[in-house]
Structure 1
C-alpha cells in the first residue's frame, strides 16, 4: 500500500547504511543504497561521487520511489508484501524481485507486475507470500559468487525483512471482531418460603374456648 512507503523506506535505509564503494560490489559507488548511475538518472545527470555522498532525504525518496517502489507497484501490493518486494528490488533489482514474486504466486514470470500478478498475490495469504519470497530470495543470494563476502549481511537483512513484513501484514488486534454482550450475573435463588405460622391471637382464643367447654362439661357431671 502506498501509505507504507515512508515506513518501508526507513526500514530499507537501516540495511543500506551509508557510503560504500566496495570493489566486489557490482553496483559500484553507493550512498544509502543509491547508486551513482541511478542518482544521475533521477536527480543530477552529471553527478560525481562527491555529489552522491551529499544526497538529501528528498533526493533519496525520489530515487527509491521512482526506481524501486513504483517499478514493483508497491502502492498496489498488500501490506507487508509491498515492503518485502520493495527491499528485494533495492537489493537485487526490480525485475528480479518481480519475477520471484510471480514465481511464488504462480503466474508467468516476465518480470513485470500487472493485473494478473496483483490479483494472484491478493488471493493468497500474506504471510505465505512473504515467507516463500524470503526463502527464495535467500536461495538466490546463496548462489552468488559474492556470498562469501556479503552472505552474513544478506542473511541478517532478509531475516529482518521477513520479521518486519510479517508485522506489517498482521491485522490489527481486535479488527473486525465484535465484542460479546456482557451476560448478566446469575440471580441468587430466592429463599424457600415456609408456610405462615398461625397467628398467636388465634391460638390464644382457641385455648380459651377449650377451657370454657371443659368447665361446662364439668358442671353437668356434678
Structure 2
C-alpha cells in the first residue's frame, strides 16, 4: 500500500534520532542514528563481520537494519499512510512490539499482542477516523513514557517528539505533507519497558490494616492491648483515656490502611494500563 513511504518515513525518524549519543541514563547505551551498539553487534555477528563501534555504521547497513528490524516488522508497507510513519517511529524509540501495542490498544477491537497481523491491518483500514486513531495511538505512547523512571529527565524531548510525530502522521493520513521534523534534545533516548516505574505496593497498607494471609497488623496489635486494658478502665480514669485513645488510633490506622490500599490499587491499575501489562500482573 505505502511502500513508497519508507524513504520519507525513515528520513523523519532519523531527524528525531540525531547522530551519536551515549547518555548515562539511556537504556540503549551507545547509539548512532537510532541504532544501538547491541543491535549493530548482532547485525555484524550474523554476517560474520568483525564488531566495530556503531559510530562507524555505513549507509547500507543503516538502511538494512531499519528496513528489516523496524519497517518490515511493523508491516510498514501494508499500513495506511500516517500509520506507517508513527508506528515505525515508535518502534525505533521503544521497540516494535511496544509500538504495535499502542496502536492495538487505541483500536480497542483487536488482540493486544504486539504483532501486526491481518486483523490489526483490517481494523486500521476500517476505522472511520484515521485522524482520531493516530491521536489515540500517540496518547497511549505518551502515557507509556510517563510511566517510565526516566520520564522526569527526558519528558521535554519525548513529549515534543510525540507531538511532532502526531502532527506529521495526521497530515500524511489526510494526504498533506505536514511539518518538517526537528531534533529535540533528549527525544532520542530510548524509552523501553525495562525502565518502567515499579507498581505501587499494597504491603504498607496491609501491614497497617492487618490485611492478608492472617498476618497481624499494627491495628490488630493495638486492639489486643486495648482488650487487655479494658477490664482495668473502670477503676482508672487514666487507663480509660488510654483505652479510648487505642480505640481511636486503631480505627484510624485501619481506615487509613484500607484507604491507602485502595489508592495503591488504583495507581497500580493505571500504571499497568499505561505499560500495556496483561491483566493480573501487579508487580
Q: Distance in 1 between matches of 2:11 and 2:175?
A: 21
- RMSD, aligned CA: 1.6
State the distance in 1 between where 2:45 and 2:111 align.
Answer: 36
SS at match of 1:141: helix
1:19 aligns with 2:20: yes
Distance across 2 between alignment mates of 1:7 and 1:171: 14
Shift of 1:146: 0.5
For 2:9 and 2:175, the matched residues in 1 are separated by 17
- List gaps (5 residues or longer) in structure 2: 177-283
Q: Which residue, out of 139, 150, 154, partners 2:154? A: 150
Tell me the equivalent position of 1:34: 35
User: Normalising to structure 1: TM-score of the pair?
Assistant: 0.73
Aligned pairs (5 A) from 1:120-139: 120-124=123-127, 125-139=129-143
The structure with the larger Rg is: 1
Q: Name 2:5's counterpart in structure 1.
A: 4
Gaps of at least 5 residues in structure 1 are: 173-222
Residue in structure 2 matched with residue 63 of structure 1 by the alignment? 65
Checking the alignment, whether the CA contact within 8 Å between 1:13 and 1:33 is kept in structure 2 is yes
- Count of matched residue pairs: 171
Residue 42 (structure 1) shift? 2.6
CA distance in 2 between counterparts of 1:28 and 1:140 reads 20
Conservation of the 8 A alpha-carbon contact between 2:102 and 2:138: no
Q: CA deviation at 1:21?
A: 1.2
- Divergent runs of 4+, >3 A: 43-46
In structure 1, C-alpha distance between the alignment counterparts of 2:169 and 2:100, rounded to whole Å:
17
Q: Deviations over 1:181-213 (max 9, x none)?
A: xxxxxxxxxxxxxxxxxxxxxxxxxxxxxxxxx
Q: Is the 8 A contact 1:80 1:168 kept in 2?
A: yes
